[in-house]
Amino acid sequence: MASIELDIWRGEWGLASIDLECLKVLTYMKFIGVPVKVREASNPFFTPKGTLPVMRDGRTVLTNFEEVVTYLKSLHYSTDVHLNQKQAAEASAFTQYLRDKLYPAYQYAWWVDEKNYGDITRPAYAKALQIPFNFYYPSKYQSSAKAMVDALYGEHTDLKEIEKTIYNEAEKCLKTLSDRLGESEYFFGNRPSSFDATVFAYLAPLVKAPFPNGTLSNHVKGIANLSRFVARISQKNFRNVTDDYNRANSVKQSRGSQSEREAAQFPHETRNKILAAVFAALAMTGYAVANGLFQELKDFEHSQQYNDMFENEEDDN
């Protein structure tokens, strides 16, 4: 069973993977406890469909979440066996609802929004890829996302109007999810399902990635029970990833604080050094001047002119 291998996009920002589909499969595998060797891939070019994730078990090669769930179930690994018929139907309906309403907004935030794409998405994927693929794949994925948005909202010509519409629909979807979760640990009781893995894969990148334009991510963060849902699964199933990121972030912040303190002290220290130098220069100048005057007075006292001055005074008397 340890022969199962999973190739995924690398992680970032405390995420086990930056990619929604990779995170979905990886989270599900964590839920069921299947032994798997995870590898961070640096080139999807040689994968069956030019995408990640890719799961391999001997001659079996799978590239999407549904195939992985079905295959692992055949090996008696499944989290959905506890769902009754009604819950299974509800999970299926919700999954499609996410695909219709949240996925377009997710793609928009990651790939279509130029600020987000330029600042975090492209650098994150380019960092994971080898040259020259780091130039090709991010642009390819962005083009695919834009084509999807155009197909769905082609009647709108203003991108801001599209953004408003797409985020409004996503926010309604998120509210429905929040209402369904309530105060429960998972969506269908106290045990995770494949649907929980799906929701986590959507929400975790929105919560953790530092979007400069954070309209959608800020909305997710503002929904308390969904934020707790992400935090719980992260801590239970990806604790090492979370802890490593937090440690690295603490060190980074500590170094930043030290640099800020040094920068803050710099003008004061420089000012003090300048003042000290000026004071020393003035003191030395004063000393030199004073010594010069004293020497001149001393020389004058011993001069003939000085003696003549007093002799003249005596003659006058």
Compute the average pLDDT of residues 60-82: 96
- Under the banding of pLDDT at 50, 70 and 90, the label for residue 32 is very high
Lookup result for tokens 């992260």: 234
Say whether pTM exceeds 0.85.
Answer: no
pLDDT per position as a tens digit, 124-169: 999 999 889 999 999 999 999 999 999 998 876 788 999 999 999 9
**pLDDT computed for residue 267 by the predictor:** 54
Give the chain as a 3 state SS string: CCCCEEEECCCECCECCCCHHHHHHHHHHHHHCCCCEEEECCCHHHCCCCCCCEEEECCEEECCHHHHHHHHHHCCCCCCCCCCHHHHHHHHHHHHHHHHHHHHHHHHHHHHCHHHHHHHHHHHHHHHCCCCHHHHHHHHHHHHHHHHHHHHHCCCCCHHHHHHHHHHHHHHHHHHHHHHHCCCCECCECCCCHHHHHHHHHHHHHHHCCCCCCHHHHHHHCCHHHHHHHHHHHHHHCHHHHHHHHHHHHHHHHHHHHHHHHHHHHHHHHHHHHHHHHHHHHHHHHHHHHHHHHHHHHHHHCCHHHHHHHHHHHHHC
pLDDT per position as a tens digit, 38-69: 999 988 998 999 999 999 999 999 999 999 99
- Under the banding of pLDDT at 50, 70 and 90, the label for residue 3 is confident
pLDDT per position as a tens digit, 93-132: 999 999 999 999 999 999 999 999 999 999 999 999 988 9
Given a contact cutoff of 8 angstroms between Cβ atoms, the answer to whether 240 and 197 are in contact is no
Residue 208 main-chain phi, psi, to 5 deg: -95, -30
Q: Which of 270, 237, 315, 217 is nearest to 15 (CA)?
A: 237
